[in-house]
A = this chain, B = another copy of it.
Amino acid sequence: MIYLDNAATTLKKPPEVAAAVVKAMETMGNADRGSHGGALAAARPVYACREALKELFHAPGADHVVFTQNATEALNIAISGTLAPGDHVVTTDLEHNSVLRPLYRLEAERGVKLSFAAPDACGHVSPSAIEALIRPDTRAIICTHASNLTGEVIDIEAVGRIAKARDLLFIVDASQTAGALPIDMERMGIGILCFTGHKGLMGPQGTGGLCIGEGVEIRPFKTGGSGIHSFSKTQPEAYPTRLEAGTLNGHGIAGLGAAVDHILKTGVDAIGQREEMLMRRFYEGVSGIEGVTVYGDFSGRRRAAIVALNIRDMDSAEVSDILSEAYGIATRPGAHCAPRMHEALGTREQGAVRFSFSYYNTEADADAAINAVKELAEG
């Protein structure tokens, strides 16, 4: 199988990752529960992973790295734990349902008000389009770093400057970029960074989290056992415990730590450049084929390693099925949980076929995919 569905989850991980998970399963007790060898064997890799993520994202401290099951949980925590009734939020049409649905819920339940920055004809959302929506009652800007459908990147450094100047909380969904594009919370003025572990970070499924900027207060989402302050009726105040009720996915986090170490060693730039090269090679190969429509702006701007396309009026699910069955190429069709982006692109009914690349893909993978698209378009 040629796996080009890396925006859903990366299939190939650095070999250290599975090794770290297996080691954890053989040696780990329950992190932060007890002081015997097994409990310490659990606490160490969990802490090491916080340190590695702090370094990767320039978070204020390892204790400001909170683990969750996935980016969706991180976004639910960030959104529901900071917004108050009547707050206005600026977000974008590029967002995934993991941002949209928590916001729609607060709109319905708490009277939070929403404004959506629309993409231009190329599918790009500019910082000035976001800035134009800010009002006196705006409390936060929430946006994705890159569209999971088209790979379009939002210039979060510029948005962060706007947020800082207006004293707004800036929440970033880095699901499609963490590990492949540079993210510097401090320099970019990010208040809360939400990430998943199993995509560009190349860690196990069941991992993700949020990095919390200095002075940002988030109310607990879940409450429960914390291993400390057991006699308090409420969740302990200190991060990360405030947001981490219950036993962590210690086994998965050990694997994520190994993955992030690998990324730090390899370098985000080297990874990103390789992914970009593969994505552009594929784009160059398919963009001129008659009957193929590629979505998004490939004019040279930095983007995530995603190419979404359609072949004539063929249903995207049908194309993806043929690619899988006749060519052994894994892609993803349909809506990709990005409803507003499909509305903007006019692809609500057809969906789109998404090809997404990872560090471990090869030029041959891209070429095989180009060839398959060509045959389908000619067929």
A198 lies within 8 A of chain B by Cβ: yes
Residues on B with beta carbons closer than 8 Å to the beta carbon of A222: 72-73, 76, 102
Known: A196-B247, A246-B72, A252-B249. A30 touches B18 (CB 8 A): no
Q: Are B34 and A333 in contact (CB under 8 A)?
A: yes
A25 lies within 8 A of chain B by Cβ: yes
A339 lies within 8 A of chain B by Cβ: yes
> A311-338 vs B: 1/0 string, CB under 8 Å?
0000001001101100011111111111
Please give 11 more A-B residue pairs, beta carbons under 8 A apart, in addition to A5-B29, A36-B323, A72-B246. A5-B30, A5-B34, A13-B25, A22-B22, A35-B320, A72-B222, A98-B225, A198-B247, A205-B251, A206-B250, A230-B338
Report A356-377 residues with CB < 8 Å from chain B CB: none
How many angstroms from the CA of A102 to the CA of B234 in the assembled complex? 9
Residues on B with beta carbons closer than 8 Å to the beta carbon of A245: 72-73, 76, 98, 101
Q: Are A234 and B104 in contact (CB under 8 A)?
A: yes
How many angstroms from the CA of A3 to the CA of B40 in the assembled complex? 13
Residues on B with beta carbons closer than 8 Å to the beta carbon of A17: 25
Q: Are B324 and A36 in contact (CB under 8 A)?
A: yes
A287 lies within 8 A of chain B by Cβ: no
The residue from B18, B35, B255 contacting A321, defined by CB atoms under 8 A apart: B35
Known: A25-B18, A75-B224, A331-B34. A246 touches B98 (CB 8 A): yes
A226 lies within 8 A of chain B by Cβ: yes
Known: A206-B206, A250-B206. A223 touches B3 (CB 8 A): no
List chain A positions with a Cβ less than 8 A from chain B: 1, 3, 5, 8-9, 11, 13, 17-18, 21-22, 25-30, 33-39, 42, 68-73, 75-76, 96-102, 104-105, 196, 198, 204-207, 222-227, 230-231, 233-235, 245-252, 255, 317, 320-321, 323-324, 328-339, 342, 348
CB distance from A160 to the nearest CB of B (A): 24
How many angstroms from the CA of A29 to the CA of B4 in the assembled complex? 10
Q: Are A9 and B30 in contact (CB under 8 A)?
A: yes
Residues on B with beta carbons closer than 8 Å to the beta carbon of A99: 224
Residues on B with beta carbons closer than 8 Å to the beta carbon of A11: 27-29, 38
Q: Are A224 and B39 in contact (CB under 8 A)?
A: no
How many angstroms from the CA of A102 to the CA of B222 in the assembled complex? 8
The residue from B96, B205, B225 contacting A337, defined by CB atoms under 8 A apart: B225
Q: Are B8 and A33 in contact (CB under 8 A)?
A: yes
How many angstroms from the CA of A33 to the CA of B223 in the assembled complex? 30
CB distance from A249 to the nearest CB of B (A): 3
> Which residue of chain B is the closest to A338 with respect to CB atoms?
B230
